[in-house]
Amino acid sequence: MENQQIKQAGLKVTAPRVKILGILEHSGKRHLSAEDVYKELLSQDEEIGLATVYRVLTQFEGAGLVCRRHFEGGQSVFELNSGSHHDHLVCIKCGKIVEFVDSLIEDRQIAIAAEHGFRIEDHSLVVYGLCAGCQNAR
């Protein structure tokens, strides 16, 4: 259960952390902004401040439990770290997010970085477009 993951991350098991991890695991969406998490907590009548949400999410990120993504639009979104890296397809109209992995692209990135003398630490590929539903909707 959640407590183990938190403990293994070297963090104390506290109510806010357990709640937040629970929300990340059981909310319908895989990608939540800090604000989303906060609203969800409020709707559950939890007395947890927004500052704590940010702090906890940042700690979880440091511990490798979640990943922080900076899509367009100002705020960051967090998602549970599912182990494998993946990229995103984001619908600019409805916000729908599809994850994908493509080893061909990954390989090319490595090759390109090498050509320029870079050692890759991380990367972010986001494709913005209209999903099938939104293309028809207009």
Partner DNA sequence: GGGGAAACTGAAAATCTTTCGCATCTTGCT
Partner DNA sequence: AGCAAGATGCGAAAGATTTTCAGTTTCCCC
The residues binding its own copies (CB under 8 A) are 70, 72, 89, 91-92, 98, 100, 102, 104-105, 108-109, 112-113, 116-132, 135
CB 36 within 8 A of CB 95: no
- Does 13 engage in binding with DNA (CB under 7 A)? yes
Q: Which residues contact 76 (CB under 8 A, 6 or more apart)?
A: 33, 34, 68, 69, 70
* Residue number with CB closer to its own copies (11 or 92): 92
Residues 6+ away with beta carbon under 8 Å from 51: none
Determine if 55 is a binding residue for DNA (CB under 7 A).
Answer: yes
**Dihedral angle over CA of 80, 83, 85, 91, nearest 10:** -30
Cβ distance 68 to 76 under 8 Å? yes
**Stretch of 49-57, 82-90, 112-120, 129-137 lying at the interface with DNA (CB under 7 A):** 49-57
Residue 118: which of its own copies, DNA, none does it interact with, CB under 5 to 8 A by kind? its own copies
Q: Do you know the residue count of the chain? A: 138
Candidate list 17, 21, 32, 88; residue touching DNA; CB under 7 A = 17
Query: Could you list the residues that contact DNA (CB under 7 A)?
Result: 7, 11-17, 33-35, 46-52, 54-56, 58-59, 74-76
